């Protein structure tokens, strides 16, 4: 669609339309399209049933690597987004941050073994084996600093003349590290996450305090923990008085923190965050490439579910919205008297790029479609059967019929208002058939059906002299060809 807009905009500029008029027309078209979608095309989710979210997620991932198990992964995406609901402030609707969902990738197993972990999972273990495996309830401290023996800053020089003073200097460095850990523990923290290192001296104090500590936590993960628990990421303990303290208000809360084994690896799981909780998608696959593709597919599904949950509405797919907007924008363009109407009309035509692409292959691989077996059916009461037209067994044919459907028994109806496309399945495909012969036979049969159908309705409705039928026939044949 973007390429069509650029192409048609360049054609307008070459025709003498100023680029400013083109840009203004495109902006007017976008504004009018948003209004029309909101008022006329959007459908409330509440009127569609409880499985709407799963269907939206399945639509998003159906064409991706996990499409073969779309129902399973759609359910995972819906559950994950519902788990990260954040209440809105001041009566605002709740939000569903996609970044609140963590993704863990584990080699081995099949795609169907992928599951959802309730809580924020960190792909690392405890910093020391002497620490408890589980803490409940948890008071979480998130740090962006080293917990290690204090060292002099660069450029600081200390002259020592007595060996006893050297030992006192080393002892003071250890005391500074001990005081920092003591300040954190005094605030009530029993879980400590830091993006940097923790040395053995500080680990000793943390083990004695019965604290679960994790070091070298990735920054994205620790931010996710902060959002889930309500903790504040602390980068320094320095206060305004020149000392070092840790404010208890910076702590986050959770129902529990525990170390569990997932796919043979140790994982620290933060459950029931006080600020809305979190969720982690555990993806299983045979190789890194497959896991990366699964992650991208699930990200698309999560974004789609997020939009539906926050907006509360959906629109039809399959190019229907683009086709409806194209018709509306063409009418809207005629209501303007400025040169922007040229750009709006071109934008309306550009919107048809999606329906046209879908009409060619229905978003499926042509080789797969032609290599499948199809049920036996006939074209209908009017026109020859497909076997008579083609003289061979092939896959299927698309017949274009002009006009809204009207019941005339078994006779397809036509009119001049809109174009309908009917898929006729027939025979069963023989691999290796000449596709050019198949296409020619399909077009011949479709043209015959359209002509006979229009002739039948002409005779019945006495519209032989109505010029709309010629336009309708031309439109149908253009689609067929």
Nearest to 327 by CA among 312, 308, 347, 342: 347
Measured CA to CA, the distance from residue 356 to residue 379 in angstroms comes to: 23
Measured CA to CA, the distance from residue 260 to residue 279 in angstroms comes to: 15
Measured CA to CA, the distance from residue 445 to residue 291 in angstroms comes to: 46
Please give the share of the chain, as a percent, with pLDDT higher than 70. Answer: 74
Q: How many CB atoms lie within 10 A of CB 469?
A: 21
Dihedral of the alpha carbons of 128, 134, 135, 141, in degrees to the nearest 10 = 40
Nearest to 234 by CA among 148, 149, 142: 142
- Helix axis angle, 19-36 relative to 320-334, nearest 10°? 120
Please report, in angstroms and rounded to a whole number, the separation of the first and last CA atoms in the chain: 23
Nearest to 188 by CA among 244, 252, 128: 252
Q: What is the pLDDT of residue 308?
A: 92
Residues of the chain with pLDDT under 70: 152-153, 361-481
Measured CA to CA, the distance from residue 291 to residue 84 in angstroms comes to: 23
Nearest to 298 by CA among 428, 103, 120: 103
Q: What is the pLDDT of residue 390?
A: 42
Q: How many CB atoms lie within 10 A of CB 263?
A: 15
What pTM value is reported for the model? 0.64
384, two tokens: 């020859």
* Residue carrying the six token digits 């208000």: 249
- With 0-12 / 13-18 / 19 or more C-beta atoms within 10 angstroms meaning exposed / middle / buried, residue 443 is middle
Contact 78/309 with Cβ under 8 angstroms? no
How far is the CA of 336 from the CAs of 28, 29, 343, 375, 450, in angstroms? Answer: 11, 12, 11, 51, 37
DSSP strand pairing (265-273 vs 252-262): antiparallel
Q: What is the pLDDT of residue 457?
A: 56
Q: Which residues lie closer than 8 Å to 248 by C-beta, 6 or more apart? A: 187, 188
- What is the phi/psi pair of residue 424, to 5°? -110, 120
Nearest to 309 by CA among 80, 23, 40, 35: 80
Q: Which residues lie closer than 8 Å to 83 by C-beta, 6 or more apart? A: 101, 116, 118, 277, 278, 279
Contact 149/299 with Cβ under 8 angstroms? no
Instruction: Give Cα 407 to chain centroid, integer Å.
Output: 41
pLDDT, tens digit (0-9, with 9 covering 90-100), for 119-149: 888 888 899 989 999 998 999 999 998 888 8
Q: What is the pLDDT of residue 394?
A: 37
SS3 179: helix
Measured CA to CA, the distance from residue 168 to residue 209 in angstroms comes to: 26
* Residue carrying the six token digits 């999606």: 354
* Residue carrying the six token digits 């058939």: 433
Measured CA to CA, the distance from residue 18 to residue 12 in angstroms comes to: 8
H or E stretch at 52: helix 52-61
Nearest to 450 by CA among 425, 421, 427, 426: 421
160, two tokens: 């020592």
Measured CA to CA, the distance from residue 89 to residue 44 in angstroms comes to: 23
Q: Which residues lie closer than 8 Å to 295 by C-beta, 6 or more apart? A: 103, 105, 283
Q: What is the DSSP letter of 280?
A: E
How far is the CA of 260 from the CAs of 126, 212, 267, in angstroms? Answer: 10, 13, 5
């Amino acid at each position: 669609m973007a390429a069509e807009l650029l192409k048609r905009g360049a054609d307008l500029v070459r025709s003498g339309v100023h680029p400013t008029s083109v840009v203004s027309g495109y902006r007017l078209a976008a504004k009018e399209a948003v209004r029309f979608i909101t008022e006329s095309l959007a459908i409330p989710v509440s009127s569609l049933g409880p499985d709407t979210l799963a269907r939206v997620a399945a639509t998003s991932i159906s064409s991706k690597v996990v499409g073969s198990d779309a129902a399973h992964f759609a359910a995972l995406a819906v559950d994950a987004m519902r788990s990260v609901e954040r209440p809105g402030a001041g009566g605002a609707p709740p939000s569903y941050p996609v970044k609140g969902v963590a993704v863990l990738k584990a080699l081995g197993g099949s795609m169907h073994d992928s599951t959802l972990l309730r809580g924020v999972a960190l792909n690392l273990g405890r910093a020391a084996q002497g620490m408890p495996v589980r803490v409940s309830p948890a008071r979480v401290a998130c740090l962006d600093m080293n917990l290690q023996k204090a060292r002099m800053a660069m450029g600081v020089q200390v002259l020592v003349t007595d060996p006893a003073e050297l030992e006192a200097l080393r002892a003071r460095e250890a005391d500074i590290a001990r005081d920092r850990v003591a300040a954190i523990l005094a605030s009530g923290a029993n879980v400590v996450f830091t993006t940097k290192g923790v040395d053995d001296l500080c680990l000793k104090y943390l083990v004695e305090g019965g604290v679960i500590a994790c070091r070298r936590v990735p920054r994205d993960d620790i931010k996710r923990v902060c959002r889930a628990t309500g903790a504040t990421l602390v980068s320094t303990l320095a206060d305004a008085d020149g000392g070092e303290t840790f404010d208890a208000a910076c702590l986050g809360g959770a129902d529990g923190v525990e170390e569990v084994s997932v796919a043979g690896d140790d994982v620290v799981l933060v459950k029931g965050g006080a600020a809305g909780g979190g969720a982690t998608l555990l993806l299983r696959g045979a190789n890194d490439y497959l896991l990366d593709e699964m992650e991208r597919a699930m990200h698309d599904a999560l974004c789609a579910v997020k939009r539906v949950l926050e907006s509360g509405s959906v629109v039809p797919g399959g190019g229907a919205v683009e086709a409806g907007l194209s018709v509306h924008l063409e009418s809207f363009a005629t209501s303007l008297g400025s040169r922007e109407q040229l750009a709006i009309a071109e934008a309306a035509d550009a919107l048809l790029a999606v329906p046209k692409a879908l009409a060619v292959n229905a978003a499926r691989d042509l080789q797969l479609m032609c290599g499948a077996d199809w049920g036996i059916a006939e074209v209908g009461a009017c026109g020859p059967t497909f076997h008579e037209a083609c003289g061979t067994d092939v896959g299927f044919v698309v017949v274009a019929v002009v006009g809204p459907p009207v019941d005339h028994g078994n006779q397809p109806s036509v009119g001049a208002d809109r174009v309908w496309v009917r898929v006729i399945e027939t025979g069963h495909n023989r691999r290796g058939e000449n596709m050019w012969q198949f296409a020619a036979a399909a077009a011949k049969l479709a043209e015959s059906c359209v002509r006979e159908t229009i002739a039948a309705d002409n005779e019945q409705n006495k519209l032989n002299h109505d010029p709309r039928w010629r336009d309708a026939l031309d439109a149908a044949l253009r689609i067929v060809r």
